[in-house]
Amino acid sequence: MKAAGLATLLCLVALVPARAQDGVGNEDVPPTDLATLLERAEARYPALRANEAAVRAARARLDEARFSPFFQIDAQGGLTIAPRAEGTPIFSNQDQLPLDNGWAPVAEIGVRGAIPLYTFGKLRNAWRAGRAGVRAAELDAERSRARLRYDVRRAYFALQLALDIRQMIREGRGQLDRAVRKLDELIAEGDPDVNPMDRFRLRAALAEVDARSSQAERLEASSRAALETLTGETSVRIPDCPIAPVVLDDAALSDADPSSRPELGMLDALLEARRAAVEIQRGSYGPDVGLGFTAGISWGPGITDQENPFVSDAANRPSLGAGLVMRWSLDFVGQTYRVRRARAQLEETQARGDEARLGLQLEVDLSREALRDAMRREEAWGRGERDTRAWLVSAAQAYDIGAAEPKDLVDALKAYFEARFSHLQAVHDLNVAAAELSRVTGGGVSPTEGWEAPCD
């Protein structure tokens, strides 16, 4: 049941604003709501791409730890020239270094390697540390995403606030200008009902409006720039809807804790990596046992091939072998200190984790109290705005029939705009505090009706 209305005019005397300007950015750009801006930010923000690359790097490190130990195979080869030499192990009529014999090529090629069979837990714990690294990288990406979502929401609410304040100022500035002009006329006419001090009162209010206008202009520019930076948009225009307080479930607010915070998972991953490091160092007391193998051949056509297997002939030698091998560092004293260092680092990480948990819980507590404060202020200023608006309507009605003085109207007008400004600020603070609480609880607290009220 909608209709353009006249009957309204009977009550809108003091509430009808001057012609509003768009104030929402480039009119050629379609408006983009908060949800869409969040999607675009998550798709484009460079820090998230960096996190994705870090996750890929961590996965590659894990795969390297899994497969690389089984491919520790070296190949070697060489080609040179050497003096010709002839004879047998029993007789040769040539010198040991027959440089005058002329020279011929000598070539060698071979491979050798080892496949680990048992490492006393070193390999298993290296994989464990690699998995922890992947988990930490993934959670770091989630942390960055949560931070980005918070930043976008904060910038969006700030832009809404700036546009609302600028609209309010356009509305109030016109009314105050008209009131000042009227007062000047009445004073010039010598109206006995007009107190010249009312004029100063109005001019002081005008100065305050101008100062707040400047603040709102800066807030609009900075929040718009922040949104454009975060979302990669060249020109952001948001829906022409007033900022509205988000709705939160009080029980969820009371139960808020940081248990879903990515940072906690990152701490757990770091602890896991530290425990793995301790196990690796403890495993280093024991040897690495594996299957070793080697194969090679050298060929020197200028040197007589000695076919006796008991004769070492470096220039013409085939070789082939495989068997159990072992590598063992016997630096037990040094290893003791390496184990101690790894354990100390684990304890340090545990203690720092406990400290971080306390900090995260403190963040939740502070955010919750900031939110509750903002909710109380929003409720109080909401009442204040309604009351001062009723006051303004009453003052305007009374003034129009000669039952009130200009001072009454000026006081009501000033009180209304102060209350409305404070209410808008409180709504903004509430929404930002909710966004912050959502971030510090890892999404554990979210508005029941979404982050943006539907606006028809």
Nearer to another protein by Cβ, of 385 and 436: the residue is 385
Nearer to another protein by Cβ, of 45 and 156: the residue is 156
CB of 129 to another protein, least distance (A): 55
- Residue 278: both structure tokens together: 């301790």
Nearer to another protein by Cβ, of 365 and 405: the residue is 405
- Residue 262: both structure tokens together: 């990515």
- Residue 286: both structure tokens together: 């024991």
CB of 190 to another protein, least distance (A): 12
Neighbours of 295 (CB within 10 A): 15
Nearer to another protein by Cβ, of 309 and 402: the residue is 402
Strand partners, 110: 76, 296
CB of 155 to another protein, least distance (A): 18
Nearer to another protein by Cβ, of 171 and 429: the residue is 171
> Considering only CA atoms, which of 431, 445, 450 is closest in space to residue 156?
431
CB of 160 to another protein, least distance (A): 9
Cα dihedral 116, 121, 122, 123 sign: positive
Q: Is 412 helix (H, G, I), strand (E, B) or coil?
A: helix
- Chain contacts with another protein (rule: CB under 8 A): 1-20, 23, 163-164, 167, 171, 175, 178-179, 182-183, 186, 191, 193, 240-242, 385-387, 389-391, 393-394, 396-404, 406, 409, 420, 455
Q: Is 196 helix (H, G, I), strand (E, B) or coil?
A: helix
Dihedral angle of Cα 430, 438, 446, 148, to the nearest 10 degrees: 100
- DSSP one-letter string for 271-322: HHHHHHHHHHHHHTTSPEEEEEEEEEEEE-TTB-----TTS--TTS-EEEEE
CB of 390 to another protein, least distance (A): 2
Residues 121/108, Cβ–Cβ less than 8 Å: no
Give whole-number Cα distances, 338 to 126, 147, 282, 328, in Å: 16, 38, 9, 16
Nearer to another protein by Cβ, of 199 and 439: the residue is 199
CB of 402 to another protein, least distance (A): 3
CB of 415 to another protein, least distance (A): 13
Nearer to another protein by Cβ, of 184 and 228: the residue is 184
